[in-house]
Amino acid sequence: MTLARPPGTPAAPAQAQPSGPPIKVMIVDDSVFMRGILSKWLGESGEFTVVGTHPNGRRAADDVQSSQPDVVILDLEMPDMDGLTALPLILERKPNTAVLVASALSRRGAEVSLRALTLGAADYLPKPDSARGPVAAEEFRAELLAKARSLGQRVRRRSMPRPPVGSPAAGTPAAGTPTTTPAAAPLRISGLPKTDGKLRAYSRMPPALLAIGSSTGGPQALTKLFADIGPFIGRVPVLVVQHMPPTFTAILAEHIARASGRRCAEGRDGEDLVAGQIYVAPGGLHMDVVQSGGVSRIRLMDTAPVNFCKPAVDPMFESVAGIYGAAALSVVLTGMGSDGARGALKIADLGGSVIAQDEESSVVWGMPGATAAIGACAGILPLVEIGPRVNRLLTGGRE
């Protein structure tokens, strides 16, 4: 994607036109203008067909079984029935549907969006700032198409019947061998060859820092992960980069604090890293780590996007690799694109441990899939297994 991006929101690389049928999309928004412009953009792309447009959540919930959308673009602020009320009804009546919620770039919008994610929405779509005119509209269009495409493709893959285990199509991996070949090929990274999927050994050095990167589906995954690891992170500082715009990252930090029972806030430039505390990269700024006199500190940078993202995971991982080496433990969670893979490879090459979320439990297996594809991982695990594995490593367990 060559278009400019809103701070903190990722773009996906350009995709080839799909060979299968168009992705079916339902649009739910009380604005006639928004319903019209979204329908126009989706139709012009050639990748989507709009199967329904509705002015409120009630009509959408009543129609979802009939129209059978792959993706629902759901406004959260509507009369009669708002998006939060309609969301569980939509998912109950059409479970294999990806709901992309749309909200304003405000504290209220961030709070409602994150609430929707906890109720089962797959991702969020910040509405453009009208004061920025055509530039904001074009950015919003790029974001809409990238996320609807990625989520729709995931729904299609998961709707396909799977061959029986042990059949020639499924393959017959040896007992205890991790499955690293995804249903959809992970992203390749220019200049880095794809490996054969072999896993590395975990570091024998106790972790001195935990670094986590995530994007699409990340808020839900982070909540689950921190609920699992909160009691065990007292000995290490924790850094989090989630692709999000400003305001949203501050609300995310509050959610993580509640889930973990630990202090969590956006990182501040020059702030010393303290064991047991969680630092979230602020939307619109890169966050990495610098060291002086044996003390590690946060550094915030208002520089160009990396991998179309700001904040980006790679700068944080690369700084962690240089300072902590084999004492670094990193986790790459669900997300679109390949951000974090290069930095994860540096951590692994310097002896640190990298864990990636597996394809089945990821909303989008882009970032963790790319990390797996270049051979950086010591583990490729379902989300429910990542927390226990991190806890064992933090408490001196060996893998």
Question: pLDDT at position 188, please?
Answer: 55
Query: What's 198's DSSP letter?
Result: P
Q: Are strands 286-292 and 295-301 parallel, antiparallel or unpaired?
A: antiparallel
272 in active site: no
Residues 6+ apart with CB under 8 A from 4: 135, 138, 139
Provide the mean pLDDT of the chain.
88
Query: What is the structure's pLDDT at 12?
Result: 43
Residue 243 designated active-site: yes
What pLDDT was estimated at residue 195?
A: 55
On the question of pLDDT at 175 being above 60, the answer is no
pLDDT at 299 over 70: yes
pLDDT band for position 132 (cuts 50, 70, 90): low
Look at residue 181 and tell me whether its pLDDT is greater than 60.
no
Q: Give pLDDT, residue 13.
A: 43
Catalytic residue among 29, 228, 288, 339: 339
Name the burial class of residue 363, with classes exposed (0-12), middle (13-18) and buried (19+) by CB atoms within 10 angstroms of its CB.
Answer: buried
pLDDT at 2 over 70: no
**Least-confidence region, from 2-11, 128-137, 241-250, 306-315:** 2-11
Q: Is the pLDDT of residue 300 over 60?
A: yes
Q: Phi-psi bin for 346: left (phi > 0), alpha (psi -120 to 50), beta?
A: alpha
Structure tokens at 219: 């808020």
Q: What is the pLDDT of residues 261-298, one digit of tens each?
A: 999 999 999 999 999 999 999 999 999 999 999 999 99
Active-site pick, 75, 203, 214, 243: 243
Is the pLDDT assigned to residue 252 strictly greater than 50?
Answer: yes
- Render 305-355 in DSSP notation, one character per residue: -BTTBSS-HHHHHHHHHHHHGGGEEEEE-SBSS-TTHHHHHHHHHTT-EEE
As a whole number of angstroms, the distance between CA 296 and CA 352 comes to: 17
Query: 59-89 burial by CB neighbour count: b if 16+ within 10 A, else e?
Result: bbbebbeebebbbbbbbbbbeebbbbbbbeb
Q: How many whole angstroms separate alpha carbon 63 and alpha carbon 360?
A: 29
Omega within 30 of 0 (cis) for the link into 311: yes
What is the average pLDDT across 205-223?
97
Q: Determine the pLDDT at residue 180.
A: 35
169 pLDDT higher than 60: no
Q: Please give the pLDDT value at position 33.
A: 94
Q: Residue 218 — very low, low, confident or very high, per pLDDT cuts 50/70/90?
A: very high
Give residues with Cβ within 8 angstroms of 178, minimum separation 6. 199, 379, 380
pLDDT band at 96 (very low <50, low <70, confident <90, very high): very high
Distances (CA, A) of 71 to 263, 275, 311: 36, 41, 27
Residue 233 contacts residue 276 (beta carbons within 8 Å): yes
Dihedral Cα 243, 266, 276, 200, nearest 10 deg: 20
| Sign of the CA dihedral running 263, 266, 272, 273 | positive
Question: Is residue 173 very low, low, confident or very high in pLDDT (cuts 50, 70, 90)?
Answer: very low
CB 334 within 8 A of CB 364: yes
> Which residues 6+ apart lie within 8 Å of 19 measured at CB?
none
Of 215, 260, 330, 353, which residue is the catalytic one?
215
Split at pLDDT 50, 70, 90, the class of 16 is: very low
Residue 14's pLDDT is what?
43
Backbone angles phi, psi at 116, to 5 degrees: -65, -40
**DSSP-based three-state secondary structure for 222:** helix
User: At 271, phi and psi to the nearest 5?
Assistant: -75, 135
pLDDT of 339 strictly over 60 = yes
